Amino acid sequence: MPTVVQDRYTDVKARFQQLFEAQQIQLNGQASHPYHQFRQEAMKRIEGMDFPTRRDEEWKYTSVNRLLQPAYQLEPTAEVTEAQLKPFLIEGLDAIRLVFINGAFR
């Protein structure tokens, strides 16, 4: 039985690793950003750890199942055309325009 539990968590770790690698591809030149460095360090720590189970004393009364159940995925990169932005622009305003899509600068 422990082998089955361990395999389940190994699969979850592999899935998180795949998501992380896919996210790295979408960085669009921001690989040197401090946030990304922080993410890389966190992923290295996760790779070196086992997922806690109820057999671990510190996690005896805490289930991580709800954390692991969702099928996490990255949002597709959204492309916005000038025509889609036009209704939100103020005509005649000479200013720098910043566009954020789902919290990401584009």
Digit-coded pLDDT (tens) for 54-70: 888 888 888 888 877 77
How many helices and strands, by DSSP H and E, does the chain display? Answer: 4, 2
N- to C-terminal Cα separation, the chain: 48
Contact 99, 80 (CB under 8 A): yes
Q: Is the pTM of this model over 0.85?
A: no
Q: Which of the four pLDDT bands, split at 50, 70 and 90, describes residue 6?
A: low
Contact 36, 20 (CB under 8 A): no
